[in-house]
Amino acid sequence: MPDIDGLLEARNFTGDQTSTGGFHVKGANAQDWGLQNRLSRIFRPSTGRTVMLAFDHGYFVGPMAGLERLDRDIAPLAPQADAIMMTRGALRTSIPSDTDAAVVLRASGGPSILRELSDEHIALDIEDAIRLNAAALAIQVFIGGEHESRSVANLARLVDVGQRYGIAVLGVTAVGKEMARDARYFRLATRICAEMGAHIVKTYYVADGFETVTASCPVPIIVAGGKKVPELEALTLAYRSIQEGAAGVDMGRNIWQSEHPAAMLAAVRAVVHDGAKPEEAYELYQERAAAGAAS
């Protein structure tokens, strides 16, 4: 059994937050050309950040509010996102193939919302990911969950095939109902993803100590939006995440469950890429919403 009794709590998180070696994506300086090129499709080289639009929720919850009609509700938003994250079924059936957005494919699946969610498997062959021109593959990791070990092994296997073909892997930290959503937990979960080889890690923002999560993860962290909250609150979450070291957002419900999804996406872009303050971005949201309603 490994000697874990003498482990000291991590405490020194200070220092440079930028990527080493000049490449604009943290931790990817030593990667091959193809993988760097795919990461550059996700993270805009001019800012080093990304606005990823997530609409993969149906892979375990079915057609939730805002995702009833992917062709009608989501496809028109895709051109505004740097990257889109969805299942291959959603991509093939509902998103036009002339999109400029980088493709981030959900690669795990298995249980529905009716069962134990950590019981996931790899649910995509690399050949199909290549056929779909994927820039990255996304897989859920359940640290502390019932099937923790298998989910970590799934991630490691996906990194093996991703490295072989130059396709990035996005580790998604899933939080079970019974787990504490605090910085200590997210430091553990995000670091495990990065140590297993994930090139990007998605996690949740926490008000206390989020900068320690981004500092101790050697690859870029992007933040999930979480449940729908008022627009200004969601923009504040995006703003704080970026200020505290995140390299972008991977946002779903707070965009497509907004009354004005396109306006909300534009406001999120302003925060992530232009450094807009939440109130400024909210003004932009209101202007765009009014213009959209008038047209």
Catalytic entry in 202, 227, 228, 277: 202
**138 forms bridges with which residues in the sheet?**
106, 170
Is 251 among the residues that bind ligand 5RP (CB under 6 A)? yes
Q: Cβ(265)–Cβ(258) under 8 Å?
A: no
Span 64-93, contacts to ligand 5RP by CB under 6 A: 85
- What is the size of the binding site for ligand 5RP (CB under 6 A)? 13
The gap from C-alpha 204 to its chain's centroid, in whole angstroms, comes to 9
* Residue carrying structure tokens 């899933």: 174
* 25: helix, strand or coil: coil
Closer of 23 and 129 to ligand 5RP (Cβ): 129
Is 261 among the residues that bind ligand 5RP (CB under 6 A)? no
Shortest distance in whole angstroms from residue 288 CB to ligand 5RP: 20
Is 250 among the residues that bind ligand 5RP (CB under 6 A)? yes
* Residue carrying structure tokens 């994250």: 85
Q: Which of 143, 172, 175, 217 binds ligand 5RP (CB under 6 A)?
A: 172
Terminal-residue alpha carbon distance, the chain: 66
Q: Which of 51, 56, 118, 147 binds ligand 5RP (CB under 6 A)?
A: 56
Q: Which of 253, 260, 273, 288 binds ligand 5RP (CB under 6 A)?
A: 253
* 210: helix, strand or coil: helix
Residue 202: active-site member = yes
Neighbours of 183 (CB within 10 A): 18
Identify the H or E element spanning 238: helix 231-243
Span 178-237, contacts to ligand 5RP by CB under 6 A: 224-226
Closer of 187 and 253 to ligand 5RP (Cβ): 253
Q: List, in order, residues 6 or more apart from 282 with CB less than 8 Å away.
A: 231, 232, 235, 267
Judged by the rule CB under 6 A, the positions of this chain that interact with ligand 5RP are: 54, 56-57, 85, 172, 224-226, 250-254
Active-site positions read 202
